[in-house]
């Protein structure tokens, strides 16, 4: 039998781990407005006509998100807390390759 206290303890531990990750990643992706990255990505997607109802559109969204992260770090002169800027460039290239594969499949 699993005791309620065990589940509560596990849930609390997971909560603390999530909050720690949230705080570190928030530093990489957002500025004083904690939702700024969502707002910028939404604006770019609207301008570029990104359609997330397609696999290619989802890949486009990921590409925009990675570019936004890079420019946010660059604009604020931040050193990333989690993944390096080089990893971000590699991710962008990987998403471009995956998007190319998606478009070739059609």
The reported pLDDT for the residue numbered 91 is 95
Place 106 in a pLDDT band, splitting at 50, 70 and 90: low
Instruction: State pTM to two decimals.
Output: 0.76
Average pLDDT, the chain: 91
The residue-averaged pLDDT of 67-95 equals 90
Q: Are 24 and 71 in contact (CB under 8 A)?
A: no
The reported pLDDT for the residue numbered 19 is 93
Distance CA(38)–CA(17), nearest Å, equals 23
Tokens representing residue 23 in the block: 């705080």
Length of the chain: 106
Place 79 in a pLDDT band, splitting at 50, 70 and 90: confident
Domains of the chain, residue spans: 4-105
Read off φ and ψ for residue 22, nearest 5 degrees. -60, -45
Tokens representing residue 1 in the block: 């039998």
């Amino acid at each position: 039998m699993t005791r309620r206290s065990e589940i509560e303890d596990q849930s609390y531990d997971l909560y603390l781990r999530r909050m720690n990750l949230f705080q570190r990643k928030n530093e990489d992706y957002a500025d004083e407005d904690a939702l700024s990255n969502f707002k910028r990505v939404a604006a770019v997607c609207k301008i570029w006509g990104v359609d997330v109802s397609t696999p290619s559109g989802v890949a486009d969204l990921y590409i925009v998100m990675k570019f936004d992260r890079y420019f946010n770090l660059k604009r604020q002169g931040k050193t990333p807390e989690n993944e390096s800027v080089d990893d971000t460039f590699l991710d962008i290239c990987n998403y471009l390759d995956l998007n190319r594969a998606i478009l070739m499949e059609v």
